[in-house]
Amino acid sequence: MSLPVIEKIAIEDFFRNPQSNDYKISPEGRYISYMAPYKDRMNVFIKELSSGDSRRLTSVEDRNIESHFWSGESFVLFLRDNGGDENHHLHAIDLSTGEVRDLTPFEGVKVVLVDVLHEQEEEVLISMNKKNAALFDVYRMNVKTGEYSLVADNPGGVSEWVTDHDGQLRIAVASDGVNNNVLYRETEADEFEVILTSSFKDQFDPLFFTFDNKHIYASSNLEGRDKKAIVIFDPSTGKEVEELYAHEAVDVEALLYSRKRKKITFCTAVVDKMEMHFFDEIAEKIYARIAEIDPDLDFHVVSANRDENLLIVRSHSDRSLGAYYFLDWENNSIEKLAEISPWLEGKQLAQMRPISYDSRDGLKIHGYLTLPVDYQEGERIPVVINPHGGPWYRDTWGFNPEVQFLANRGYAVLQMNFRGSVGYGRKFLMAAAKEWGGKMQDDVSDGVQFLVDEGIADPARVAIYGGSYGGYSVLAGMAFTPELYACGVDYVGVSNLFTFMETIPPYWKPFLDMMYEMVGHPENDKDMLTARSPVFHVDKIQAPLFVVQGAKDPRVNIGESDQIVQAMRDRGVQVEYMVKENEGHGFRNQENRFEFYRALESFLGKHL
C-alpha cells in the first residue's frame, strides 16, 4: 500500500484564529453566541434562532477575547486581561443596547468567576484580590447595574469556593501550602468552619452539592486510595458516606449533572483517551444519538438551554479541531453550525498514538507519539521531544496544532506524561517530589532512548521543545544531558529555581510551602536547587538554543529568560531570543504566533 505524500501546509493554517469557536446557547434558547475573528482578533457574535440573523457584539482590536458566558437572557459576559498580565476584568454586553462595560475597572486586580447564578437572573459571583493582592474575596455582582457586595472575606489561603444549587456560598477550600482545609457553613449567615484537613499529598476536591444541598459530590483519594474516586461526602460529619465510581488505572475527577432533572449524568476518566461512565439513561441516549454523526469522532455536549432540550455539541479528534452542532433533542434533529478550522483537512494530518515505556527505575510512563503521515516503518527520522508544562498537568489525546505542524514538517513528536503528571494517582504524583531536573528529567531522557530503541529516532537529530515547566525541561535536558539533543527551544521556561519562586504572583504565595516540598527549599535545599537550575550550568550546554518570552508573563518572569540568554552570551555563545512586549505566559495574538512558528521552523530546519 502506498503512503500518502505529505503536502506542506501553511503555518498560518495551523495557528490562525478559528473561523468560529466557543458556541453557547442562551438560557431560554433564543440565541446562540460564539467567538469569531474581527480585524484578526476573536470577538463575540450572536445569532437569533428565530430569524437566523447574526451580529457582532464586541469590537476589540488589541487582544483576543478568549471565551464568554451568559448571565440570564439579556447579558453576555467575558473576562479580559491587559497584554497577558492575567489581571482579568469582567465585562458585560447588554443585548438590548449593545453597550459593553468593564464592570471591574480596578488597576492591578484579577477577577475570577465563581458561579453564574442560574436562579438569580443577571447576577454572578466573582472573586477579586481588590483588598489584598494575595487574597481573593467573593462578591455578588449585578451585571445590569454594576453594583456589587461582599459575600465572603477570604480568611487566608482560600483558592476555591463552591456554591449550593440555590447560589449560596457554602464551601471554601484553603491551603497553607502543605495542608488543605475544607471549610463549610450551613447558610451564608453562618461562619465558615473547618470540616476536613488533609496534606497536599491527599486530594479532596468538592465538585458540587447533592440536589437537596445537604451532601457534597467530590473527587477524593482519601480513605487510603491511590487514585481519586467520585464520592458523596457528609459535611456534618466530615466523612465520606458512599463511593460512586473509581477507575483502577487513573484518577476520576469530573462529574456532570442535569440541573433540570436534578440527577448526576456521567463521570469521565482519561486513560489513553477519555472514558465515560454513565449514571443516567437519558444522558446515555443523548450521547448514543450524537455518536451517530460520525463513529470515528469524539463528541461532547458543551452548552444547553434551561430546559435541556436544545444542546450545543462539539466534535473533536486527534486530526481535527472539530465542529459544532445544534441538537434539538425533542425533535430529534441535528444541524451542523460550523467547522472550527475548515482549512485543515484530516487526511493531511497525522495520527496521535498512545504509547508507554518504562523509566530507568521501573515506573510506567504513558504518552503520545505522532509520526508524519508518510513515515515508513523502520525509517529513522528527526524527532522533537515535547514535555508538557505545569508540571502538575498532563497531555491528552486530541488535536494539537503544534504537534500537527511539526509532524507536517517531517518530525516525529513525543509527548510524555513524566512522573508528577496529574491523573495517574497519588504515588505517581509524589514520585516527582524534589525531582525537578532529576528523575522527572530522566523520564524525558528515557523517552528519547525509547524512540531510539524502537528504530524511530535518528539519535543525531533529536530536538527538545517545551513551554513553562516544559521550557525548564528543555534547559535541564540541554545542560544535564547535552549528548541527547541537537538543539532546544525554551518557551517561557524557568532557568533559575531560586528567582522563579521569588517572582511568582502574590496570589500564589499560599502555595510556596508546597513548592518547597515538591521543588525544593531555597535555604534548606540550596545545593540541590543550584545543581538543578540550568542557569548555573550553561557551560555544559553544547547545542544551539532558541528562547521565547512574553514580557508581561506573571508566572515565569521575563528575568528567567533574560538570565539564561545573558549567561550564554557571556560565554560567547549566540542564542536566538524572541520577546513580545504585548504577551504573557504564551502568545495569544495571531501575528505573534505566526512569527514564532516561522522562527521555530527555521531553527529546527537548520539544526535538525
Grid cell for residue 421: 503528571
Peptide bond into 155 cis (omega under 30): no
Three-state SS at 406: helix
CA distances from 48 to 21, 23, 53, 229, 295 (A): 17, 13, 5, 41, 31
The DSSP line for 251-316 is ---EEEEETTTTEEEEEEEESSSEEEEES-HHHHHHHHHHHTT-TTSEEEEEEE-TTS-EEEEEEE
Nearest to 588 by CA among 53, 152, 85, 1: 85
By the 8 A CB rule, do 62 and 45 touch? no
Sheet with 298-304, edge to edge strand ranges: 298-304, 310-316, 323-328, 333-339
Continuous segment of H or E residues that includes residue 22: strand 21-25
* SS (HEC) of 164-227: CCCCCEEEEEEECCCEEEEEECCCCCCCCEEEEEEECCCCEEEEEECCCCCCEEEEECCCCCCC
The answer to whether the Cα torsion of 361, 363, 364, 370 is positive or negative is negative
Query: Which residue has cell 487526511?
Result: 347
CA max distance for the chain:
72
**Which secondary-structure segment (H or E) carries 451?**
helix 439-453
Q: Which of 330, 214, 314, 260 is nearest to 118 (CA)?
A: 260
* Among candidate residues 248, 255, 200, the one with its CA nearest the CA of residue 226: 248
Query: Among the options 215, 247, 585, 607, which is catalytic?
Result: 585
CA 522 – CA 96 distance, rounded (Å): 55
For residue 585, indicate whether it is catalytic: yes
Q: What is the DSSP string of 477-500?
A: HHHH-GGG-SEEEEES----HHHH
- Check 159, 220, 317, 468 and give the catalytic one: 468
| 399 DSSP 8-state letter | -
Q: Please name the amino acid found at residue 436.
A: W
Please, are residues 532 and 599 in contact by the beta-carbon 8 Å criterion? no
Would you give the DSSP letter of residue 411? -
- Strand, helix or coil at 441? helix
Which of the following is catalytic: 91, 395, 553, 607? 553
Phi and psi at residue 71, to the nearest 5°: -130, 105
User: How many CB atoms neighbour CB 13 within 10 A?
Assistant: 16
Q: Are 454 and 599 in contact (CB under 8 A)?
A: no
CA gap 245, 349 in Å, rounded? 36
| Enzyme catalytic residues | 468, 553, 585
